[in-house]
Amino acid sequence: MRIDKASGRITVTVPVPDTGQGVRTAVAMMVAEELKVPVESLAIEQAEGDPDTYGPQISANSNTMQRVHEPIRTAAATVRHLLVKAAARRWQVAEAECRAADGFVRHGDSRFSYRELAEEAAALTPGEVELTPRDEWQVLGNPAVKRVDQDAIVTGKLAYAVDQPSDLVAVIARPPWIGAAPTDFDATGVRDAEVVRLADGFALLAEDTYTAIKARENLKTSWQGGFPDADSDQWLAELEAALPAGNTPPGAFIEKIFVTPMLAHAPMEPPTATAEVNGGAVTLWAPTQAPDRVRKLLEEEFESVRVIPTRAGGAFGRKFETDFILEAVQLARHTGKTVKVLWTRDDDIQHDSYRPLSVHRVRATVNDEGLPVWRDHAVSTWPLSSMLDVTSNPQMMKMMSAGKYPYDVPGEVHFAITSPPIRTGFWRSVYAGQLVYADEMFLSGLEMADNQVERRLKLLADQRVRKVLEAAAEAHEGAPQAVACHRDYGSVIAVIAETTHNGRTKITAAVDVGTALHPPGVRQQVEGAVMDAISVAQGAQITVRQGKVVQKSFGDYPWARIGDTPEINVVVLESDAPVGGLGELAYPAAAAALGFLSR
């Protein structure tokens, strides 16, 4: 952060990309709290990809707040300490007699603005600082604080990656079936566009988007190789056949099979990136989730690299990938001009890195009451293409899933990992969205006399999970027809769902993220995850026939619309736990509750 010497304006640099989850707001609130200034007085800027300055900059795995909240608060508190120290020296009084508030350091009736003190403060050596105690917070935890970019978003003023200016716009003719390689093209019908052959397609470059898309429509292409007969039904059968043996208990047991479908990310803003190459220098504008990773990748080819993260119209793991970025860089290098690569919605859905298909066999023995006393969960799925070294290893997968099952029921999870026949990648909550779905669907389906809340309370030894479940049950005015719990990322959640007498869906969620830095942001994250879960419960999935993804738009990949929005009540519990993660926490439990409700 810096204080402008002339205007006194405080500028805060946000080290991690904001892909819609509200990082900019949370960081601004931390700085405002420790510097004792209003949030709206701060200027917010996004850090470029620079891990040497900012450390890890990846926005993924629901750990951004866990990672940055203490360093950022400490930095802001250090600036406040130095300003107070500078003022105390001017007045020749003890620092303890001075206080910072509203952009001033005060001593009795005297005051100096931060602007007046900034230069002197910057020359001082900081000492130990204390963060503002939680019971003295005025900004953090305050539900009245709105998002710093809220007005710009709802009025359409916020600029996204797709708004970045460029000399040329490129769209790409992509493989007509999985794995197909380009061989030749006929550009007879192409007007006002250049055709560039790429390793996996043909790029059409023009001065505007319309011309580039029309050129792609008129380009005739030929392809070879690949898997023109690929079929997702066959993939499912292969996964079912590959289920690991797991453990079989002595005596009677209950066994059920669950399938979780392939899913596309379908962010509201499809992948797009703009690049400029001048000799050994490259500048990139992109909605990447990992600007540090992109910079290191480009430094393998270029002497000078600038990675400028733009605002992202959603990401959900898709913009951790670098394919669209490398396309822009390659075409900028080829043309010597600034090139923006645009993926259309069809491109986005039919050439995504998908959530893997998975098959689950859950077994359990039950006591006289019908409660499970032993369980065994066998999973057959694919690894993530972008993380093969870890996700291809069944033992690593087993370690990654450990500790997430919240109930006091002994058992094991077994993985069979087979080579993915299609590109796969991180999708909101990664494998937890599949494992929790199967476990909770199984528990919900047991024939018991009690209701869905009661059976879970009987199995819960984890007190944090018990508290969120009890809070959700207390807040839910209706019948708990479907329930699910989840713990991950240092946070816990319980979700209750029911179909009301008028056919509407009603959702109550209670969440404990430790310290809720921005309660409205917590609610918004949970609501977004519920909408994703509704989409899947209503049938959204990716299927492949004759080597091609069948779905290509929101017309046949029916993500939830405004009219599908249920009544959602989110209860945010405070606890003494450290700051936890949230972005991916709510989806697994919401998917399981809504899956059982819509079975």
What number is the average pLDDT over the span 329-344?
A: 98
CA 370 to centroid of chain Cα atoms: 37
Same domain as 373, residue 285: no
CB atoms near residue 346 (< 10 Å): 14
Same domain as 311, residue 286: yes
Can you tell me whether residue 19 is helix, strand or coil? coil
Give the β-pairing of 491-499 and 505-512: antiparallel
Residue 410 lies in a domain: yes
Same domain as 575, residue 452: yes
Same domain as 483, residue 335: no
- The predicted pLDDT at position 362 comes to 97
What number is the average pLDDT over the span 110-115?
A: 97
Same domain as 291, residue 376: no
Residue 35 burial (CB < 10 Å; 0-12/13-18/19+)? Answer: buried
CB atoms near residue 448 (< 10 Å): 16
- The predicted pLDDT at position 317 comes to 93
Asked which of 312, 342, 372 is the last residue of a domain, the reply is 342
Same domain as 136, residue 12: yes
Residues in the chain: 599
What does the alpha-carbon distance between residue 500 and residue 507 come to, in Å, rounded to a whole number?
10
pLDDT at 438 over 90: yes
Which band of pLDDT confidence, cut at 50, 70 and 90, is reported for residue 387?
Answer: confident
Same domain as 55, residue 120: yes
The CATH number linked to 592 is 3.30.365.10
Give the β-pairing of 281-286 and 194-198: unpaired
Of 321, 320, 294, which Cα lies nearest the Cα of 308? Answer: 294
Tokens linked to 454: 């009661």
Same domain as 370, residue 317: no
Residue 256 lies in a domain: no
Decide if 375 contacts 409 (C-beta within 8 A).
yes
Structural domain boundaries, residue 222: 161-226+271-342
Q: Can you list the alpha helix ranges (DSSP code H) found in 417-565? A: 432-445, 452-459, 463-475, 519-537
Asked which of 284, 313, 342 is the last residue of a domain, the reply is 342
- The predicted pLDDT at position 398 comes to 85
- The number of domains in the chain is 3
- The predicted pLDDT at position 503 comes to 87
Tokens linked to 330: 């390659």
Question: Dihedral sign, CA of 324, 327, 332, 335?
Answer: negative
CA 304 → CA 66, 295, 296, 299, 369, distances in Å?
Answer: 32, 10, 11, 7, 67
Q: Which residues pair with 234 in a beta bridge?
A: none
Same domain as 115, residue 6: yes
pLDDT at 542 over 80: yes
Containing 497, the helix (H) or strand (E) segment is strand 491-499
DSSP character string of 46-84: EPPS-HHHH------TT-HHHHHHHHHHHHHHHHHHHHH
What does the alpha-carbon distance between residue 288 and residue 164 come to, in Å, rounded to a whole number?
14
What number is the average pLDDT over the span 377-396?
A: 90
pTM of the model: 0.95
Strand segments, DSSP code E, in 97-219 are 99-101, 104-107, 110-113, 168-173, 181-186, 194-198, 201-206
Q: What is the pLDDT of residues 51-76, one digit of tens each?
A: 999 999 999 888 899 999 999 999 99
Give the full edge-to-edge strand order of the sheet including 194-198: 194-198, 201-206, 168-173, 339-342, 272-278, 281-286, 304-309
Same domain as 134, residue 50: yes
CA 391 to centroid of chain Cα atoms: 19
Which band of pLDDT confidence, cut at 50, 70 and 90, is reported for residue 515?
Answer: very high
Asked which of 154, 184, 214 is the last residue of a domain, the reply is 154
Residue 249 lies in a domain: no
Residue 557 lies in a domain: yes
DSSP character string of 279-345: TTEEEEEE--S-HHHHHHHHTTT-SEEEEEEPB-S--TTGGG--HHHHHHHHHHHHHSS-EEEE--H
- The predicted pLDDT at position 5 comes to 87
Same domain as 102, residue 177: no
Tokens linked to 225: 């190789």
Q: What is the pLDDT of residues 231-281, one digit of tens each?
A: 999 999 999 999 999 998 878 999 999 999 999 999 999 999 999 999 999
Same domain as 131, residue 88: yes
Residue 262 lies in a domain: no
What number is the average pLDDT over the span 412-430?
A: 95
Q: Which residues pair with 446 in a beta bridge?
A: none
Averaged pLDDT score across all residues of the chain: 95
Q: Which residue has the tokens 């602007």?
A: 115
pLDDT at 449 over 80: no
